[in-house]
Structure 1
Amino acid sequence: MVVKRHIVHQSSRPAKKLDPGSDPSNIMGDSWTPTPGTAFKLLMSARLCAALWSVVSDCDETFNYWEPAHFLCYGRGFQTWEYSPAYAIRSYAYILLHVIPMKICALLLGDNTILVFYMTRCLLAVACAVSEMLFYRGVCRAFGSNIGRLTLILLLFSAGMFAASAAFLPSSFSMYLTMVAYGAWLTGDAHVAVMAIAASAILGWPFAAALGIPIAYDLLVQQKKVMFFLKWCTISVIVFLVPMVLIDMHFYGKLVIAPLNIVLYNVISGHGPELYGVEPLSFYLINGFLNFNFAYILALGSLPFLLFCSWFLKKSPKSNVWLSLAPMYIWIVIFFTRPHKEERFLFPIYPFFALAAAMVLDITQRVLHSLMPEQTKRGHYTDSTSWLAAVFSFVFATLSFSRIIAVYQGYHSPLDIYVELHRVASDSKIHTLPPGKSVNVCVGKEWYRYPSSFFLPGPNWHLQFIESEFKGLLPKPYESGADATRIIPSDMNDENREEPSRYIDISRCHYLIDRDTENWTQLEPQYSSSSNWTVVKQAPFLDVTRSHRLFRAFYIPFFSNYHCTYTAYNLLKTTRTKRSIKQLKKS
């Protein structure tokens, strides 16, 4: 007991910096809580697993981040309209934060670009684990050990955190820095909180500035530290915005303030993100449950539930309880009401789902404890109600693992197929083209599952698009040369309008990556059944249309295999010879 209290007191800050939402005896005190170091080790183990096994679920991650990074590293990659100097709504500063460690990895690992890809993901995973540890430490100090433990468990096992933690996306970057900001704010380090929010909004995602509103309210209204706030905002602008503008001026060849451009495009342009699809409110309700299952339900209802329980217990929660829940509700009001919805848009508030659910569980334990007979109320309130936390944690972890396995089994095959290209390139029995000859790897309807150019075997291998039923705007390769990022690419638009110049004739394809489907069309035939192609590798891919909604969403042994249908994800090699291609063209 002495050792435990010694560790706790070493890690605690002065009492005046704490504003606990529960009684002081529960602040890292009566029951054992993992130290920040132990929490980091647990989190890092989980995040490294995510870096190695999670799928690339968003084509924006590939074409807006991995591809520009590959271009800056190796001089080859795809460019989207967002990086055209005519629009310039993305910043190269964010890309450079990742390119620098990529180049170091490339020096150490040689020409194996797949290893560079996964090492970069591992570095992102470590950054996420550090951020979660700081957030956890702040939660423990402000709200007590029970809420801290529960938050850690929900973060550790969440399927949503598994997907978001190692993603090369500004929304994940903003999630990291938001956790740093609130971890610092809860421990009294307000200057770190202000700078973390500023870095998140400037370098990552400008809309993430909304998550700093509760911290700004606390500093400006409750603590009346106006000059302090302005001072650190000014420092943040100098430290983050000025270098970013200089970097983008170098790459774009003109003055560019990318955060401003992206806000203007999304908010006041006549053709914003709705061009890329709209979804009903149910999209976020379902998606949130898939990623946080029952913790998501607790989180959404946390505010009214905490109000009711506080009234029942005749205790008024401190202001930092409401301010810690506010970012989640602010974000929900902003993004749940937008027509264009994507899973990654919720990444920045994933940690608050865990915190809000932990608060609900904690106050439920307090209510149950208060309702127990006097003879059973001995000891700390968690002693008599620990079963509730244990049962909920077990159910949450089980459903989370089930979701992670379901996603891996259903959607990991594109990564496996693109890795196979490296084996094919080194097998002279399969790859019969002369060394150094240009090789075209083609995609049609499966273009958006391309993981990135890091998976191509060499500089003479090129991804090419063939026409399919998709009629939106596809990316195009960067121009060559030192000023490639300054050149306004031809055939680009910001209206998601199809550009036929992206397509090549299928007769020029050496390899084709395609998925078998039942509903084939003239533009999307069953290529694997054609005599013009031979199957090199197949991997199972979930057929959503012919699989049960529950059993495809969560893996349930035996039942999922019975109720889910898989199709073949194919790596195909052309059987056409030069002679047959000439004959085909003549006909």
Structure 2
Amino acid sequence: SEFALRSYLYIIFHELVGRPASWLFAEEKVRVFYAVRLFLGFLSLISDATLVVALSRKYGKRLASYALAMLCLASGCFFASTSFLPSSFSMYAMSLSSGLFLLEKPAWAVAVAAVGVILGWPFSILAFLPLTFYSLAKQFKQAFLSGAVTSIALLALSILVDHCYYQRWTSSVFNLLVYNVLGGGESHLYGTEGPLFYIRNGFNNFNFCFILALLFLGILPIARKKYAPDLLIVISPLYIWLAFMSLQPHKEERFLYPIYPLVCVAASAVIESFPDLFRDKYNPYDNSIIVMMAKFLRPVALSLILCASHSRTFSLINGYAAPMEVYKILEHHDDAG
């Protein structure tokens, strides 16, 4: 409590489900645990569904279906979606905000971004900047008022809640930023990694989906008319966040959670554009053999990615389920707290 770095507003938010579940299941803590996880999964479902619907309306059903498959089955998204972490909450906000932006609702997109930063993880503000700036450029008055009102209301509520728990007037959001940005924090004490850590970790969680996502900028010269500027604005935080976090000495897998949905969207856009890479630019209806092969390659690439992701997910569940199995027994043991 000396530094007041943790937001109690974020924790209290989960009482919306945790408290009723504890009344319903009494002393069965494992059921309460899973009730909260189901709630988090539902939030992820709503935010990702909004993003997929937006992609479908703006870029077609093929791109949306590819993104949907990856969001559902990518190993990284699978585990991040139900994690009780501020970075996961910022991930929900990123999906929802991006979807609202593509649906031409910039004011709502900025408001959701503010919720993701203040209620979730304050550092994720960097990832929301491109979308926020472009929304302000589209509808300055509405987007500015929406973001300002949401931010002020949440900050005031956060300060009130922090006062109740820390017994002094303070802001955990501000404290966290000051502690880490202005040199008060010593995050390197918890371990440091090289600049390629997130590249390796991204491949570990998304396999070739991550590699394809990084290649999105490479297809822009060919698919500029199709994806620029809106989809580029939505995907740009992937590169900004990855570059920024790679420069920090202390690295953790969860730090990339806010951009996980963007990895799936970027990779889907690249796969969907395979035929465009070989099509005659002066003949949009070119159906040469190489173009037909590229079309055939799309479901093949997607299937390989999904199979590898599915295998990793089940491997992790099978290999690391012991703590939960033990906890199921301990909760009924008389000596267990």
Q: Give the TM-score category using the shorter length.
A: over 0.9
What does residue 163 of structure 1 align with? Answer: 79
Amino acid at match of 2:162: D
> 1:352-390: CA deviations, max 9, x gaps?
00111111112212234549x999739xxx987542221
1:341 pairs with one of 245, 248, 251 = 251
1:255 pairs with one of 166, 169, 189 = 169
2:133 pairs with one of 204, 207, 217 = 217
Residue 99 in 1 paired to residue 9 in 2? no
Shift of 1:424: 4.6
Which structure dedicates a bigger proportion of its chain to helix?
Answer: 2
Which structure dedicates a bigger proportion of its chain to strand?
Answer: 1
In 2, Cα distance between the equivalents of 1:144 and 1:232? Answer: 29
2:274, 2:295 within 8 Å by CA — same for their partners in 1?
no
1:297 pairs with one of 189, 207, 211 = 211
In 2 relative to 1, CA 105–341 (structure 1 residues): closer, same or farther, beyond 3 Å? same
- Look up the SS of the partner of 1:128 in the other structure: helix
In 2, Cα distance between the equivalents of 1:126 and 1:408? Answer: 20
> 1:237-270: CA deviations, max 9, x gaps?
2331111111111111111111111111111124
> 1:294-329: CA deviations, max 9, x gaps?
0100111211x1234348xxx574311321221111
Aligned positions of 1:92-241 closer than 5 A: 92-221=8-137, 223=138, 225-241=139-155
Residue 412 in 1 paired to residue 328 in 2? no
Normalization by structure 1: what TM-score? Answer: 0.54
Amino acid at match of 1:114: V
- Look up the SS of the partner of 2:82 in the other structure: coil
Taking only aligned residues, the RMSD between alpha carbons, in angstroms, comes to 2.4
1:102, 1:120 within 8 Å by CA — same for their partners in 2?
yes
In 2, Cα distance between the equivalents of 1:317 and 1:374? Answer: 16
Shift of 1:149: 1.4
In 2 relative to 1, CA 375–219 (structure 1 residues): closer, same or farther, beyond 3 Å? closer
In 2, Cα distance between the equivalents of 1:357 and 1:420? Answer: 42
- Look up the SS of the partner of 2:163 in the other structure: helix
Amino acid at match of 2:202: G
In 2, Cα distance between the equivalents of 1:185 and 1:375? Answer: 31
In 1, Cα distance between the equivalents of 2:213 and 2:18? Answer: 37
What does residue 235 of structure 2 align with? Answer: 325
Shift of 1:186: 0.5
2:261 pairs with one of 351, 363, 369 = 351
In 2, Cα distance between the equivalents of 1:298 and 1:229? Answer: 33
In 1, Cα distance between the equivalents of 2:273 and 2:254? Answer: 30
Shift of 1:418: 2.3
Aligned positions of 1:261-410 closer than 5 A: 261-303=175-217, 305-310=218-223, 315=225, 317-370=227-280, 377=287, 385-410=294-319
In 1, Cα distance between the equivalents of 2:330 and 2:262? Answer: 41
In 2 relative to 1, CA 88–423 (structure 1 residues): closer, same or farther, beyond 3 Å? closer
What does residue 14 of structure 1 align with? Answer: none
Shift of 1:416: 1.5
In 2 relative to 1, CA 238–290 (structure 1 residues): closer, same or farther, beyond 3 Å? same
- Look up the SS of the partner of 1:336 in the other structure: helix
2:25, 2:32 within 8 Å by CA — same for their partners in 1?
yes
Amino acid at match of 1:171: S
Amino acid at match of 1:331: W
Equivalent residues, number: 335
2:21, 2:32 within 8 Å by CA — same for their partners in 1?
yes
Shift of 1:197: 0.4
In 1, Cα distance between the equivalents of 2:52 and 2:210? Answer: 18
In 2 relative to 1, CA 291–262 (structure 1 residues): closer, same or farther, beyond 3 Å? same
In 2 relative to 1, CA 339–100 (structure 1 residues): closer, same or farther, beyond 3 Å? same
In 2 relative to 1, CA 316–419 (structure 1 residues): closer, same or farther, beyond 3 Å? closer
In 2 relative to 1, CA 422–96 (structure 1 residues): closer, same or farther, beyond 3 Å? closer
Bigger relative contact order, structure 1 or 2 (CA pairs below 8 A, ≥6 apart) = 2
In 1, Cα distance between the equivalents of 2:110 and 2:286? Answer: 46
In 2, Cα distance between the equivalents of 1:99 and 1:261? Answer: 24
What does residue 578 of structure 1 align with? Answer: none
Which runs of 5 or more structure 2 residues have no equivalent in the other structure? none
In 2 relative to 1, CA 180–376 (structure 1 residues): closer, same or farther, beyond 3 Å? closer
Shift of 1:417: 1.9
**Percent identity of paired positions between Structure 1 and Structure 2:** 31
Which runs of 5 or more structure 1 residues have no equivalent in the other structure? 1-83, 426-438, 440-460, 463-587
Normalization by structure 2: what TM-score? Answer: 0.92
Amino acid at match of 1:388: L
